[in-house]
Amino acid sequence: MKRLWRALAFLAAAGAALFLSTSALAVGAGSNPTPAQPHWRTALGPVTWSGKLTALYPGSRDDTERFALRITNAGKSAQVLHSVTASVQSKTNGCRASWFTVSIDGRDRRLPARLAPGSSYAAHVDLVMRDTGANQDACEGASPAVTVTAR
């Protein structure tokens, strides 16, 4: 029972962290977009699950935390969305980024995609916890921070 509560706490915390920490960068880390550079706005929907589990467990089959992702052209002219990537930030409270696999599932529309002002690209962010064979209890109740980058 204690493990179930920890798993549920992890789920809630991971969902909140993913939602709050997701950001879109216009061009490269740390750059400020100029009027000629793309302006992207990202939004994540609520979490859904690939299987019957509702928390991430290391190495479990059909245990993917999935968020709907929408990237909108917030600029004043048409822009080309070249790529979308996601990453888990380095270790937080002993819970290591290398224990997770995060990917963008955009199979409904291939990139690059030309987006008119106000139009959007839809995809999914999939988060899976890998089983490393080591003790991964540090992730119980932890919130892996995920960053989404649009270029």
CA atoms within 13 A on the CB side of 145: 10
Under 8 Å between Cβ of 86 and 125: yes
Categorise residue 137: left if φ over 0, alpha if ψ from -120 to 50, beta otherwise. alpha
**Res. 124: pLDDT tops 50:** yes
DSSP element (H, E) containing 55: none
Nearest to 15 by CA among 61, 60, 66, 87: 66
- For 55-107, the pLDDT digits (tens) are 888 988 888 999 899 999 999 999 999 999 999 887 767 889 999 999 999 88
Under 8 Å between Cβ of 58 and 129: yes
β-partners of residue 81 are: 113
Cis peptide before 112 (omega within 30 of 0): yes
- For 19-47, the pLDDT digits (tens) are 433 333 222 233 344 445 579 999 988 88
Under 8 Å between Cβ of 124 and 104: yes
Alpha carbon distance 111, 35 (integer Å): 22
**Res. 111: pLDDT tops 90:** yes
Read off the DSSP letter of residue 52: S
Strands in 5-112 per DSSP E: 40-49, 65-73, 79-81, 84-88, 100-105
pLDDT attached to residue 37: 58
List the domain boundaries for the chain: 2-29+36-132+142-150
